[in-house]
């Protein structure tokens, strides 16, 4: 799964990397992005790519209660095309979720967990494959998202059995293209994604608390 990550790039870096023409409203960085927070995402509105904030934790348009979002921070790519919550979103509401690393907790033999910060080895910035939706309620519209995951690759298996899908640069525009994509087509697209190599290092348990959001979160532990 993916439950925490970082987004520390400058706004201009993001605009340049993803080919965004408009400034990002309310832009901010984070050492410790957590579920329930507003996260930087990119969609294509049919005319241009746009970057803005979605709340992390998908609330489907048909949901009765927005609290469902806390259970839907991730979506399994292997079965998303079969699930009512995600099937239609795969067709028309695909997004990129911008990050520069993510955290995962490796379970030790004694039952404790060691947090690790994980990078794409050859890229400073990257994007998770995501889905988004709009939920209408009395106070206005709520825009939310989820990160797609899959079985861990050889590198990640040593840390966790699941991994977020990080799109190769050449596949980002295809993923958010405004044209309709059949759910099974999106499913096959995700199955065939070959992720770039990853690297990781240990960080302290300081990152465990979502309220902690400073440089100490990413500081490498001494060997």
* Residue of 95, 104, 163, 217 marked active site: 104
Output the pLDDT for position 90. 96
Residue 84's pLDDT band (cuts 50, 70, 90):
confident
Output the pLDDT for position 10. 97
Active site residue 2: yes
Active site residue 66: no
The architecture (CATH level 2) of 4-101+124-197 comes to: Alpha-Beta Complex (3.90)
Output the pLDDT for position 223. 67
Percent of the chain beyond pLDDT 70? 100
* Residue of 2, 95, 145, 217 marked active site: 2
Output the pLDDT for position 166. 98
Q: How far apart are CA 103 and CA 216, in angstroms?
A: 14
pLDDT tens by residue, 9-41: 999 999 999 999 999 999 999 999 999 999 999
pLDDT tens by residue, 95-119: 999 999 999 999 999 999 999 999 9
* pLDDT over 90 (residue 140): no
Q: What is the pTM of this model?
A: 0.96
pLDDT tens by residue, 172-205: 999 999 898 999 999 999 999 999 999 999 999 9
Q: Taking all residues of the chain, what is their mean pLDDT, rounded to a whole number?
A: 95
Residue 6's pLDDT band (cuts 50, 70, 90):
very high
* pLDDT over 80 (residue 54): yes
């Amino acid at each position: 799964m993916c439950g925490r990550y970082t987004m520390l790039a400058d706004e201009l870096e993001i605009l340049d990397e993803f080919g965004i023409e408009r400034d990002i409203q309310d832009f901010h960085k984070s050492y410790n992005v957590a579920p329930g927070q507003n996260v930087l995402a990119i969609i294509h509105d049919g005319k241009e790519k746009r970057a803005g904030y979605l709340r992390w934790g998908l609330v489907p348009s048909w949901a009765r209660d927005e609290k469902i979002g806390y259970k839907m921070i991730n979506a399994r790519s292997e079965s998303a095309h079969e699930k009512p919550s995600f099937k239609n979103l795969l067709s028309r509401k695909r997004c990129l979720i911008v990050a520069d690393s993510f955290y995962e907790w490796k379970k030790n033999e004694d039952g404790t967990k060691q947090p690790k910060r994980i990078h794409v080895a050859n890229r400073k910035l990257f994007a998770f494959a995501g889905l988004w939706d709009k939920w209408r309620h009395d106070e206005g519209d709520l825009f939310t998202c989820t990160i797609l995951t899959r079985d861990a690759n050889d590198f990640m298996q040593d840390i966790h059995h699941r991994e977020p899908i990080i799109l190769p640069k050449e596949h980002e525009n295809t993923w958010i293209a405004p044209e309709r994509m059949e759910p099974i087509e999106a499913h096959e697209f995700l199955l065939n994604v070959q992720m770039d190599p990853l690297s990781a290092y240990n960080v302290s348990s300081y990152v465990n608390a979502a309220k902690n959001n400073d440089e100490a979160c990413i500081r490498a532990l001494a060997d």
